[in-house]
Amino acid sequence: MIQKKVAIRITINGHEKELAIPADTSALELIRDILKLKGTKEGCGIGECGACTIQVDGKAVNSCLMFAAQLDGCSVQTVEGLQTADGLHPMQKAFVEKHAVQCGFCTPGILMSTQALLSENPHPDRDAVQKAVAGNLCRCTGYHHITASIEEAVKCSAGEKE
């Protein structure tokens, strides 16, 4: 059986791509298997764990629940797109410094959910932070270090470093 392909054009991590992909390809498969960006993880495959969270036009979404064709014309950011010219993004640095990274499996999804929050609300309170990462399951940290890392990164961006 010949698989129907669809043409899509996306901007991923600032780079424009034109691709012809099988029509039934998920956004997660596109990112991991076709584009070889392995930071985005597959956990549950049903949108419950948040390991596959990416940003599409600035909004956090579960890539396992989207067809890649839905990304046509969109701007997509994965955890690989957070890196700055100086290395780690300040949020990534805060996760390391505040011990929010344990096994690391959930970390990319949490970082992407957090970045989506901060693009809408650069100075969120604890409730907003907790709500933003509520769809990201972590079995290692108990969320205390994750919340503390996000709050630290927000303080640093505001020039209030401890």
Q: Which of 48, 81, 114 is the last residue of a domain?
A: 81
The pair of structure tokens assigned to 104 is 């690391």
The total domain count for the chain is: 2
Length of the chain in terms of residues written: 162
Distance CA(107)–CA(96), nearest Å, equals: 11
Q: Which of 28, 52, 81 is the last residue of a domain?
A: 81
CATH number assigned to the domain comprising residue 31: 3.10.20.30
CATH number assigned to the domain comprising residue 132: 1.10.150.120
Strand stretches in 25-155, DSSP E: 53-56, 59-62, 75-77
Q: How many CB atoms lie within 10 A of CB 92?
A: 21
SS3 19: strand
Q: What is the pLDDT along the chain (162 residues), one digit of tens a residue?
A: 677 999 999 999 999 999 999 999 999 999 999 999 999 999 999 999 999 999 999 999 999 999 999 999 999 999 999 988 888 888 999 999 988 888 889 999 999 999 999 999 999 999 999 999 999 999 887 788 999 999 988 888 766 655
- Residues 58 and 115 both lie in one domain: no
- Residues 63 and 88 both lie in one domain: no
